[in-house]
């Protein structure tokens, strides 16, 4: 008997997917990560080879790949291409992982499509012992193929060489910055990690590397011997670079690090312009419009996202030392420039992250509220409090409790300031929520009840 769709049936199917095929987002890499391409190749063949039905741009890297993918997809779609975008993890809704933007309209994969796909292929999932990520990758590729996208921007899950998405032969490979993360799986040096990420390089397919890092250059030079043209984005001036200040000033992705991601995307667009199917992306005004409105156009959450103006609340999913060094430096600069009177940080972290490398990066003059997100992977807030050694730090409990504590503290600080300053002198406090995708995912609905 054919399964019948209903909103509740869809929710039940998604719940079964998470329970039967554990995701890295919920269970961690040791339980959910299944490296290798054999299962994914078999799945793709059974699906009718959807991976070959559309032009793809494949993106790997330690940090910035989600933002880079979204920026590029927004620019391509605004230039008239029906553009698919596959990223992970999701923040609020499973369907965020696969999106299509066409004619100015953003569409998440429909619940009915997801439900039908899971029902049709459930036996195959079990027989071939597919991972959660392999299932979602096959779902995305099949939907993009069925919808006839002109191009799809595909973000790797972990690494690159053995990632399920690496069955693709893209028209362009992009590798963002390389940092020390997931060392237990990818290697504990930058060259080792770069080699895994560079596994997406294919013979004859152009490669754009975001940053020429001394330790990783030899790896890319070696792996591009296969006649794969190599471009380092930070070593050139892309054709639209003369407008980068204008773009950065107006962008709705406001983190300082977006300057680096922007340069990578502009370099990638230069490479794509000479390829069949991408001639229309020479419209510079359309490209700029897409880049400026990426978060709005692509439904992109959790990247220096403003959650509230009174009090002012920002969140970001940066979770490793490399990403957090940029985040904390930007927050520190805000204080130095006098934009905010004080900084309150709601912070949680996964147990597999290098907290000892992160603690020295935390601004010393901030107030910290440490929280434990609702996942088995989380490091308990009490353990963070004990190890952090910050003079103004508190146990926040759950994310909800920690956010409520931060908002109450911000309100008290605002009232104290208002009693001692004129209206012209009032400088508000800033609340920052971050350290983990899980922290942000639990915090966002507290400010946007529709989620």
> Is 43 contained in some domain?
yes
Q: Check whether residue 208 and residue 329 sit in a common domain.
A: no
Q: Does residue 417 register a pLDDT over 80?
A: no
Q: Does residue 424 register a pLDDT over 80?
A: no
Mean pLDDT calculated for residue range 127-140: 96
The boundaries of the domain holding residue 332 are 305-447
Q: CB-based contacts of 195: which residues, under 8 Å, 6+ apart? A: 161, 187, 219, 223
Residue 320 in 3-state DSSP?
coil
> Is 88 contained in some domain?
yes
Number of domains in the chain: 2
Strand partners, 173: 58, 207
Q: Check whether residue 216 and residue 123 sit in a common domain.
A: yes
Judge contact between 64 and 260, C-beta under 8 A: yes
**For the CA atoms of 114, 118, 120, 123, what is the dihedral angle to 10 degrees?**
170
Highest mean pLDDT among 59-68, 87-96, 136-145: 136-145
Q: Which of 236, 238, 231 has its CA nearest to residue 217?
A: 231
Mean pLDDT calculated for residue range 94-101: 97
> Is 209 contained in some domain?
yes
> Is 2 contained in some domain?
no
Least confident of 183-197, 275-289, 396-410: 183-197
Return d(Cα 286, Cα 280) in angstroms, integer.
10
Return d(Cα 174, Cα 58) in angstroms, integer.
6
The tokens for 430 are: 């800033």
CA distances 173 to 203, 207, 317, Å, are 11, 5, 24
Q: Check whether residue 159 and residue 207 sit in a common domain.
A: yes
Q: Check whether residue 408 and residue 271 sit in a common domain.
A: no
Q: Which of 256, 276, 298 is the last residue of a domain?
A: 298
Residue 353 in 3-state DSSP?
coil
Q: Check whether residue 420 and residue 349 sit in a common domain.
A: yes
pLDDT tier at 32 (50, 70, 90 boundaries)?
Answer: very low
Q: Does residue 448 register a pLDDT over 80?
A: no
Give the CATH number for residue 410.
3.90.190.20
Asked whether the CA dihedral 278, 283, 284, 289 is positive or negative, the reply is negative
> Is 127 contained in some domain?
yes
Q: Which of 298, 317, 338 is the last residue of a domain?
A: 298
Q: Check whether residue 418 and residue 283 sit in a common domain.
A: no
> What would the pLDDT profile of 42-86 be if each residue is shown by its tens digit?
999 999 999 999 999 999 998 899 999 999 999 999 999 999 999
Q: Check whether residue 290 and residue 335 sit in a common domain.
A: no
> Is 350 contained in some domain?
yes
Give the CATH number for residue 105.
3.40.1190.10
Q: Check whether residue 135 and residue 186 sit in a common domain.
A: yes
Q: Does residue 170 register a pLDDT over 50?
A: yes
CA distances 437 to 143, 279, 432, Å, are 26, 37, 14
Judge contact between 136 and 154, C-beta under 8 A: no
Q: Check whether residue 378 and residue 419 sit in a common domain.
A: yes
Q: Check whether residue 248 and residue 323 sit in a common domain.
A: no
> What would the pLDDT profile of 371-405 be if each residue is shown by its tens digit?
999 999 999 999 999 999 999 999 999 999 999 99
- Residue given tokens 């049936």 in the structure block: 9
The tokens for 390 are: 């910050």
> Is 1 contained in some domain?
no
The tokens for 244 are: 């980068």
How many other C-beta atoms are found inside a 10 Å radius of the C-beta of residue 30?
11
Average pLDDT, whole number, for the chain? 91
pLDDT tier at 427 (50, 70, 90 boundaries)?
Answer: confident
Helices (H), 204-257: 217-223, 244-250
Q: Check whether residue 352 and residue 281 sit in a common domain.
A: no
Q: Check whether residue 111 and residue 258 sit in a common domain.
A: yes
Position 156 scores a pLDDT of 97
Return d(Cα 422, Cα 425) in angstroms, integer.
5
Q: Which of 237, 268, 298 is the last residue of a domain?
A: 298
> What would the pLDDT profile of 5-15 be if each residue is shown by its tens digit?
999 999 999 99
DSSP state of 449: T
Q: What pTM did the predictor assign?
A: 0.92
Judge contact between 238 and 267, C-beta under 8 A: yes
pLDDT tier at 183 (50, 70, 90 boundaries)?
Answer: low
- Residue given tokens 């009232």 in the structure block: 415
Mean pLDDT calculated for residue range 157-161: 88
> Is 272 contained in some domain?
yes
Return d(Cα 387, Cα 97) in angstroms, integer.
35
How many other C-beta atoms are found inside a 10 Å radius of the C-beta of residue 34?
17
Return d(Cα 231, Cα 214) in angstroms, integer.
15
Angle between helical axes of 65-78 and 284-292 (0-180°, round to 10): 140
């Amino acid at each position: 008997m054919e399964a019948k769709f209903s909103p509740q049936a869809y929710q039940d199917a998604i719940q079964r997917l998470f329970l039967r095929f554990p995701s890295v987002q919920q269970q961690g890499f040791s339980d959910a990560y299944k490296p290798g391409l054999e299962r994914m190749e078999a799945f793709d063949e059974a699906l009718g080879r959807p991976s070959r039905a559309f032009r793809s741009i494949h993106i790997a890297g330690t940090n910035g790949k989600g933002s880079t993918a979204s920026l590029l997809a927004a620019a391509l779609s605004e230039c008239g291409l029906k553009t698919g975008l596959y990223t992970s993890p999701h923040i609020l809704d499973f369907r965020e992982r696969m999106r299509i933007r066409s004619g100015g309209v953003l569409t998440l994969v429909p619940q009915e499509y997801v439900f039908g796909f899971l029902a049709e292929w459930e036996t195959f999932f079990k027989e071939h012992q597919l991972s959660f990520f392999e299932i979602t990758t096959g779902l995305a590729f099949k939907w993009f193929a069925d919808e006839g996208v002109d191009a799809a921007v595909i973000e790797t899950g972990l690494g690159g060489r053995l990632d399920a998405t690496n069955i693709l032969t893209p028209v362009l490979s992009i590798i963002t910055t390389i940092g020390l993360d997931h060392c237990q799986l990818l290697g504990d040096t930058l060259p080792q990690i770069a080699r895994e990420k560079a596994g997406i390089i294919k013979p004859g397919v152009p490669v754009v590397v975001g940053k020429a890092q001394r330790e990783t250059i030899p790896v890319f030079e070696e792996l591009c011997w296969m006649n794969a043209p190599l471009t380092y984005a930070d070593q050139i001036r892309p054709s639209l670079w003369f407008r980068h200040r204008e773009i950065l000033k107006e962008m709705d992705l406001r983190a300082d690090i977006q300057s680096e991601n922007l340069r990578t995307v502009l370099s990638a667009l230069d490479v794509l312009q000479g390829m069949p199917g991408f001639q229309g992306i020479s419209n510079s005004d359309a490209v700029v419009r897409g880049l400026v409105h990426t978060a709005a156009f692509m439904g992109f959450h959790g990247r220096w996202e403003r959650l509230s103006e009174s009090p002012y609340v920002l969140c970001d999913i940066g979770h490793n030392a490399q990403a957090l060094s940029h985040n904390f430096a930007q927050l520190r600069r805000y204080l130095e420039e006098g934009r905010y009177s004080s900084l309150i940080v709601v912070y949680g972290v996964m147990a597999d992250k290098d907290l000892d490398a992160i603690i020295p990066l935390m601004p010393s003059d901030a107030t910290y509220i440490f929280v434990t997100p609702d996942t088995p992977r989380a490091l308990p807030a009490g353990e963070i409090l004990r190890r952090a050694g910050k003079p103004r730090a508190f146990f926040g409990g759950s994310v909800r409790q920690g956010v409520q504590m931060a908002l109450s503290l911000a309100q008290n600080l605002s009232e104290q300031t208002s009693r001692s300053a004129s209206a012209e002198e009032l400088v508000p406090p800033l609340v920052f929520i971050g350290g983990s995708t899980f922290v942000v995912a639990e915090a966002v609905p507290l400010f946007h009840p529709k989620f």
